[in-house]
Amino acid sequence: MSALEPAVELARGLWVTFKSIFERPVTIQYPEEKRPVRQRFRGRHVLKRYENGLEKCIGCSLCAAACPADAIFVEASENTDEKRFSPGERYASTYEINMLRCIYCGYCEDACPTEAIILGDNYELSFYDRQSAIYGKEMLLEPVPAASMLTPQKVEPGVFT
């Protein structure tokens, strides 16, 4: 190692630092400007609905069985002809996801036979206590497509429109 080599390396390092002074910063002003997420990003869970407002979730609990972190709890109830929440015989009366336990693996999405649960693109998750980290069904369900429709509907069993 010659006496000149450390000085050359020092000059190269200073040149890299000097070049970066003239580059534009990549800072994003977060609350006002949101960064777009990638196509395969896995964010906050969403329970989907059909176009007619019925819930896609049939309460089969396959998502809870597939979850390696045991973060999902599903309790199923029977639909009646007067109050129909989903097109099948059953619906999820209780659907909870513990977001502190969730590892966002997507296995629940893969296991769902009706494609009711998806991992959306919302990445703004914050909690002040443990109880608010448990997302219930009302927090996970997407809004009803038309304001005139209500979730419990009087629909013929098996009609998916």
Q: For residue range 98-129, what is the model confidence (pLDDT) as tens digits? A: 999 999 999 999 999 999 999 999 998 899 99
**pLDDT cut 90: percent of the chain above it:** 63
Average pLDDT over residues 153-160: 56
CB-neighbour burial class of residue 84 (10 A; exposed 0-12, middle 13-18, buried 19+): buried
Render pLDDT for 71-82 as a digit per residue (tens, 0 to 9): 999 999 999 888
Q: How far apart are CA 126 and CA 138, in angstroms?
A: 18
* Residue 159 confidence (pLDDT): 55
* Residue 152 confidence (pLDDT): 60
Is there a contact between 81 and 157 (Cβ–Cβ < 8 Å)? yes
Render pLDDT for 10-37 as a digit per residue (tens, 0 to 9): 999 999 999 988 888 888 888 899 888 9
Say if residue 47's pLDDT is above 60: yes
Q: How far apart are CA 96 and CA 137, in angstroms?
A: 6
45-140 classified as CATH 3.30.930.10: no
Smallest CA-to-CA distance from 85 within 140, 161, 152 is with: 152
Q: Which residue has the higher pLDDT, 6 or 96?
A: 96
* Residue 76 confidence (pLDDT): 95
Euclidean distance between the first and the last CA atom of the chain, given in angstroms as a whole number:
78
In angstroms, what CA-CA distances link 30 with 23, 35, 44, 130?
20, 8, 18, 25
Provide the pLDDT confidence category of residue 49 given band limits of 50, 70 and 90: very high
Say if residue 2's pLDDT is above 80: no
**CA dihedral sign of residues 49, 147, 79, 73:** positive
Q: Degrees (nearest 5) of the Cα angle 94, 115, 153?
A: 55
For residue 119, what are the β-bridge partners? Answer: 45
Give the global pTM: 0.74
* Residue 135 confidence (pLDDT): 96
* Residue 82 confidence (pLDDT): 87
* Residue 27 confidence (pLDDT): 86
